């Protein structure tokens, strides 16, 4: 079996997923094309340098619909001959895009891929795509559909996790993120989001609350 390697990893800063978040005026297409441009520039990619761009995103409607991966390629500096594939595995969509790219290499379908994901909850509200599992009684009632938040409450009750324990874990996570930022551990992977005039909109993760 062919060994698979990750050669580079880049991302934009994370903004608050609300209509007043720092990135609320920036489309998912723009976030994607900025990332692809940074990958292309940093790794000197030219021509049909990769087999495919595999992009995960959950709410594939409106600005994020119609195969956002392909639109992102066309909006970027990558060669327009490179195709794009959008996938949805809910919260694991970006991770699954990377897994799929790795498996394509292992299977001999190609030698190089760009994989990742994007979601703009500031502009495309969660659950705005509907979905049979949530709205069609023929499956909702038969399968006992449990949204993620309710599922978390059930798990906490079942295993005896208190609200204070959950909050303490969240606070500790925020503290660790702040320390990592202060130690410049993300300096090689973060690309600032700029507007068309080159003015920086966001250069750091917005939501850290240590």
Cα 77 from Cα 32, distance rounded (Å) = 11
The mean per-residue pLDDT over the stretch 157-185 comes to 96
List the CATH code of the domain at 28-130+186-202.
3.40.47.10
The answer on pLDDT for 18 being more than 80 is yes
Reported confidence tier of residue 98, pLDDT bands at 50, 70, 90 = very high
pTM, full prediction: 0.92
Buried b (16+ CB within 10 A) or exposed e, 106-144: eeeeeeebbbbbbbbbbbbeeeebeeeeeeeeeeeeeee
**pLDDT mean across residues, the chain:** 95
The mean-pLDDT minimum among 82-86, 146-150, 153-157 falls in 146-150
Q: How confident is the model at residue 169 (pLDDT cuts 50, 70, 90)?
A: very high
Instruction: Spell out the domain ranges in the chain.
Output: 28-130+186-202
Q: Which residue has the higher pLDDT, 140 or 15?
A: 15
DSSP states of 155-185: HHHHHT--HHHHHHHHHHHHHHHHHHHHTTT
Q: Indicate whether 145 pLDDT > 90.
A: no
The confidence band for 96, taking pLDDT boundaries of 50, 70 and 90, is very high
């Amino acid at each position: 079996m062919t060994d698979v390697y990750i050669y580079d990893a880049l991302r934009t800063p994370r903004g608050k997923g609300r209509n007043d978040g720092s990135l609320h005026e920036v489309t998912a297409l723009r976030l994607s094309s900025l990332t692809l441009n940074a990958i292309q520039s940093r790794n000197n990619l030219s021509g049909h340098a990769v087999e495919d761009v595999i992009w995960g995103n959950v709410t594939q409607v409106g600005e994020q619909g119609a195969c956002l991966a392909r639109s992102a390629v066309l909006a970027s500096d990558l060669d327009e001959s490179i195709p794009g594939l959008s996938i949805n595995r809910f919260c694991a969509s970006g991770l699954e895009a990377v897994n799929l790219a790795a498996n394509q290499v292992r299977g001999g379908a190609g030698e190089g891929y760009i994989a990742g994901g994007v979601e703009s909850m500031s502009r495309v509200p969660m659950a705005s795509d509907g979905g049979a599992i949530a709205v069609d009684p023929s499956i909702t009632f038969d399968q006992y559909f449990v949204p993620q938040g309710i599922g978390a409450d059930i798990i906490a009750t079942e295993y005896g996790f208190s609200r204070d324990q959950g909050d303490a874990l969240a606070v500790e996570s925020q503290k660790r993120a702040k320390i990592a930022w202060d130690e410049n551990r993300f300096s090689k992977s973060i690309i600032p989001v700029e507007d068309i005039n080159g003015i920086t909109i966001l250069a750091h993760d917005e939501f850290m609350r240590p």
